[in-house]
Chain A
Amino acid sequence: QVQLVQSGAEVKRPGASVRVSCRASGYTFTDYYLHWVRQAPGQGLEWMGRINPSSGGTNAAQNFQGRVTMTRDTSISTAYMELTRLKSDDTAVYFCARGFGYNAYWGQGTLVTVSS
């Protein structure tokens, strides 16, 4: 069965960087895009960007361009999202999700807390 398993919760200082991983199983990793979506506490869903695991090509939302880097390691079927220059309003649950447009499979989410 398709599974996306994300790395554990992180606590970071403002100005630091965080890298969240998303390990895929149950399908061919390079066959589907992986998207990153975040959700601040009590707020809605925000699409951050996506990576094509086959080519490594990415698209990021304008809000995150210059701060977000999406990469993958096909040898271990894992995608990564790194967010730099963290601010307090980056505190959120970060999800990875599989799909070309709509997303039928989601990771469990990774809570990133940014606090001094």
Chain B
Amino acid sequence: DIQMTQSPSTLSASAGDRVTITCRASQNINNWLAWYQQKPGKAPKLLIYEASILESGVPSRFSGSGSGTEFALTISSLQPDDFATYYCQHYNDYPYTFGLGTKLEIK
């Protein structure tokens, strides 16, 4: 199985900050990577797919980059609504594993 290693596990930041979350795959997954945002008690929300394509309706302050085994999610200027937990997930082959998540907290 492909392992997805996300870092950091927790990130403290302030509104207006630029933040980056990274995700490393244990083997080449090409661009088959998605990023999700999850808030407590809610289903995950798709932000990015194919590593860098912004899902319709997602603010442009979110961006994704990377290919192969190294990926990143960047939020260019944090808004209050962005404080949540973020997960990466590969879909290169089965099983489609998730990273352990990054909790983005208010500093």
Residues of A at under 8 Å CB distance from B? 35, 37, 44-47, 49-50, 59, 61-62, 95, 97, 100-104, 106-109
Contact = CB atoms under 8 A, between A and B. Distances in A.
Given A45-B36, A102-B46, 16 more contacts: A44-B99, A45-B87, A45-B98, A47-B95, A50-B96, A59-B94, A61-B94, A61-B95, A95-B43, A103-B34, A103-B44, A103-B46, A104-B55, A106-B45, A107-B43, A108-B43
Nearest to B33: A102
B89 A45 contact: yes
Given A44-B100, A45-B101, A62 B46 contact: no
Contacts of B101: 44-45
Interface residues of B, number: 23
A82 B94 CA distance: 19
Among A95, A106, A107, max chain B CB count under 10 A is at A106
Contacts of B50: 102
Contacts of A95: 43-44
Contacts of A109: 43
